[in-house]
Amino acid sequence: MDRATKEARVDYLREALSSAESVILTGVSGLTVAEVSDLRGKLHEAGVNYKVVKNTLAKLAIRDGDMNVIADDFKGPTAIAWSDDPVAPAKILKNFQKDLEKFEIKAGFNAGNRLDLDQIKALADLPSLDELRSQLLGTIEGVTGKLLAQVNAPASNLVGVLQAKIDKDKEAA
Judge residue 121's burial from the number of C-beta atoms within 10 Å of its C-beta, 0-12 exposed, 13-18 middle, 19 or more buried: middle
pLDDT in tens, 48-79: 999 999 999 999 999 888 888 999 999 999 99
Look up residue 114 and give its amino acid. Answer: R
| 82 pLDDT above the threshold of 90 | yes
Beta carbons of 107 and 70 less than 8 angstroms apart: yes
| 29 pLDDT above the threshold of 80 | yes
| Res 64: pLDDT | 83
Its CATH architecture, for the domain 3-126, is 2-Layer Sandwich (3.30)
The residues, any chain, with a CB within 8 Å of residue 102's CB and separated by 6 or more, are 30, 31
| Res 91: pLDDT | 92
Strand partners, 25: 80, 107
